[in-house]
């Protein structure tokens, strides 16, 4: 008998993957956690029935959420990652030799434990000596920080449950205060096909808080619609400008300087969302 996993991306649309077995399943204090072995995309992390990452395509998301802001900032020495319990964003962050400390604040320690056991490809860099892992509320951590970080990366799950508060104007104001005078932030901001209102609202909130706000995109096959957006808020540096060329590119499979520039060339359906 074939086994299938379906994520219902809307009431009317879903993505279905043929699976071989469930490797891990637990209801934590915050969410339902599952790691499932799929035929097409390998091992997959799902939270509350929603795909978070798969072995086959995770590198696109993680490279783009990390390297675009880190190559925009000239010297990202201290970086905060909010969320990102699978460890993939930290894996990309620590590829930057200028980095001195990367703080990762994940609210659900069970996600970190599961990914360390079943997704070593993404989580292995959590043991890097420059990484400080805190199992805590990222919203509270940001609110209690002031002028601490060069770059803040919001690697959140969907805007439901524990992730909902990471998509608000009040939170972006806290992020602004937690950044140094030339700091910048980035947040994953969902699908232009299914989350247009969210993208518009986040962009406008960031534009109200930061002098520079930009949206960029990348394809992620297992995410709703296959096309994903990220939104940057920056105090000083414009990510559309050529990324710093003094630093060597890390080992990547998707990101390069041409992709960095091209990701800000938005299709009309997204540009229209951002129009005044």
Mean pLDDT by 10 residues, the chain (276 residues): 90 94 97 97 96 97 98 97 97 97 97 98 97 97 95 87 83 97 97 94 97 98 95 97 81 96 96 91
Element (H, E) at 4: strand 3-8
* Active-site residue (options: 155, 170, 182, 201): 155
What contacts 185, CB < 8 A, 6 or more positions away? Answer: 69, 151, 152, 153, 154, 172, 175, 176, 179, 210, 232, 233, 234
Q: Given the structure tokens 């799902």, which residue do they identify?
A: 46
Domains of the chain and CATH, by start: 3-54 (2.30.140.10), 58-274 (3.40.50.150)
Residue 155 designated active-site: yes
Q: What angle do CA 7, 46, 48 make, to 5 degrees?
A: 75
Q: What pLDDT sits at residue 158?
A: 73
């Amino acid at each position: 008998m074939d086994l299938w996993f379906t994520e219902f991306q809307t009431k009317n649309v879903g993505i279905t993957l043929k699976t071989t077995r469930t490797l891990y399943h637990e209801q934590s204090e915050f969410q339902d956690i599952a790691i499932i072995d799929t035929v097409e995309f390998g091992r997959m992390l799902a939270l509350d029935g929603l795909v978070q990452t798969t072995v086959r395509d995770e590198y696109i998301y993680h490279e783009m959420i990390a390297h675009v802001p880190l190559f925009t900032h000239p010297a990202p020495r201290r970086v905060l990652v909010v969320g990102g319990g699978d460890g993939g964003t930290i894996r990309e962050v620590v590829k930057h030799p200028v980095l001195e400390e990367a703080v990762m604040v994940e609210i659900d320690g069970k996600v970190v434990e599961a990914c360390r056991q079943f997704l070593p490809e993404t989580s292995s860099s959590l043991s890097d000596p420059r990484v400080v892992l805190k199992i805590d509320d990222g919203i509270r951590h940001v609110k209690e920080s002031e002028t601490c970080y060069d770059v803040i990366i919001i690697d959140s799950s969907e805007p439901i449950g524990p992730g909902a508060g990471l998509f608000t104007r009040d939170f972006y104001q806290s992020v602004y205060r937690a950044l140094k005078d030339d700091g910048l932030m980035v947040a994953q901001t969902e699908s232009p096909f299914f989350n247009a209102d969210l993208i518009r609202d986040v962009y406008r909130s960031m534009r109200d808080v930061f002098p520079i706000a930009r949206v960029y995109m990348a394809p992620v096959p297992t995410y709703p619609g296959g096309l994903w957006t990220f939104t940057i808020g920056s105090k000083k540096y414009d990510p559309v400008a050529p990324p710093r060329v003094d630093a060597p590119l890390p080992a990547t499979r998707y990101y390069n300087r041409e992709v960095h520039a091209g990701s800000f060339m938005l299709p009309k359906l997204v540009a229209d969302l951002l129009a005044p």
